[in-house]
Structure 1
């Protein structure tokens, strides 16, 4: 397995874990950490998409990074 595969797997696992945390919905601390994990996943996906030359995946995750940072900002104020 090459290093880029490890990045992709880490991104996928972070995305799954973050989705579960945010979907759970409470406590607020769990949701806030879910958005932090989503942010990490978006950064990993951005790195993988740059390395792969995949503009569609890059654009998607740049937007999701912004959404996730907004989620971090919103939820961290609640805890």
Structure 2
């Protein structure tokens, strides 16, 4: 019996770790914490069946931490994302207001060129404190699961934000001609797109 429960606990923990590490949005992360919670219950059962109080106590603590993760990602964060998505959708339906998008949703969006060729993923955006404008976006290109990727800074004037992705006005080859930036030392500014 304890062997089956142990294998179930292991499988739940591994699945939950993959779901949360993938960073595929608040709902997937939240469901990852649900699976973690189930795993911690199973590990507590293993501790009880095999007479290991330290395993039971550790997983009782992890149970509470995982419940907090469920609340944070499936409750609080999911509501915030729903609110920003609704504001964005409503702004698209009205002609007399600017179309809105969530800055948080910008990070992680896929970037393609105008022909539809994949370029990369938005890693972050840098905003000026003085005039509250986006100075540049950092786009990761290449690599596998974040290893070996190359970062490039690009001006917001060269990016068109769509509902599900970002379209770069530069063809992929021109984008790749841009200088790479050091992952640990980003520029403090880049020239505007129309500067020669």
Q: Shorter-chain TM-score: what band? A: over 0.9
Look up the match of 1:69. Answer: 67
1:27-61 alpha-carbon deviations (Å, 9 max, x no partner): 11110100000000000011110111101111110
CA-CA distance at 1:26 after TM superposition: 2.0
How many pairs are equivalent?
77
Measured in 1, the distance between the counterparts of 2:20 and 2:4 equals 24
Higher relative contact order (CA 8 A, sep 6+): 1
SS of the residue 2:17 aligns to = helix
Larger radius of gyration between Structure 1 and Structure 2: 2
Residue 52 (structure 1) aligns with = 50
- Partner in structure 2 of residue 5 of structure 1: 3
> Aligned partners of 1:53 and 1:69: how far apart in 2?
25
Matched, 1:40 2:38: yes
In the other structure, the counterpart of 2:28 is: 30
Cα distance in 2, alignment partners of residues 72 and 28 from structure 1: 10
Gaps of 5+ in 2: 79-196
| TM-score, normalised via structure 2 length | 0.38
Could you say which structure has the higher helix fraction? 1
- Segments of 5+ residues of structure 1 without an aligned counterpart are none
RMSD (CA atoms): 0.8
